[in-house]
Amino acid sequence: MHVVKTVVIIPALNPLNSIIDYVNTLKEINIDKIIIINDGSDEKYEPVFKELQNIEWCTVLNHGENLGKGRALKTGFSYVLNHHKNVDSIITAGAHGQHQIEDVAQIIRHAELFSDGIILGVRNFNTKDMPLISTIGNRAASVLFELFFHRRLLDTQTSLRCIPKQVLPWLIRVNGEDFSFDTNMLVEAIKRKIPIYEIPIGQARIKKNSIMFYDEITNAHKLIQQMITTYTKSKKQHE
């Protein structure tokens, strides 16, 4: 039986110390390698990245300045293509603890079954801890995505995804250096008829006064505006 070889990519901007325990725990669920992209974090976070680099199964890649989440992911994808040719799947995850280890394990369990497409970890927004405006924003983005791109997806902004290695060569050329890359990835996959699978995971986690904004859009207005911008650019490319 083929064992799926998996790499986890985590773009990180000013991560908390808790990322160290998170990375160590990830290794316990059959992860082959963890790649952290330091996307121009402040100097005071250097000790965190040094400790991560000292972990045997962890690689830290550095951006001299903050280039955006999309660019950080592309840096990670390029590294996988050049240095991990035997990998089957790439998991992308957030740096600030919003994805429980069980969430990641749930996606990995489906990696072999759905190896021909992109797997999205769909968050549960129906919780008392989730601000109403964030729930409304996510639903509005889902409706707009279906209207614009004729495919219903429940969580277009989730950063917990499983991506088959064979799509990386075109994925690193997809437009978007920031959050727009998350949506553009899905739009391009639909154009290329790449299957997109949705797997329910735990509840969405957004903490007050958190720096988690780097991992996922939480502002409803920005979420909707980004969806409209993606559609407009996509339409212009086909005119």
> What tens digit of pLDDT does each residue of 128-166 get?
655 665 676 777 888 889 999 999 998 888 899 999 999
- For residues 94 and 210, the answer to whether their CB atoms sit within 8 Å is no
Percent of the chain with pLDDT over 90: 59
**pLDDT for the residue 62:** 98
Q: 202: part of which helix (H) or strand (E)?
A: strand 196-203
Structure tokens at 202: 């735990």
Q: How far apart are alpha carbons 149 and 185 in whole angstroms?
A: 12
Q: What is the DSSP letter of 213?
A: G
Which strand ranges, in their side-by-side order, compose the sheet holding 89-92?
Answer: 58-63, 33-39, 6-12, 89-92, 161-164, 118-124, 196-203
Q: Is the pLDDT of residue 1 over 60?
A: no
**pLDDT for the residue 219:** 62
- For residues 123 and 204, the answer to whether their CB atoms sit within 8 Å is yes
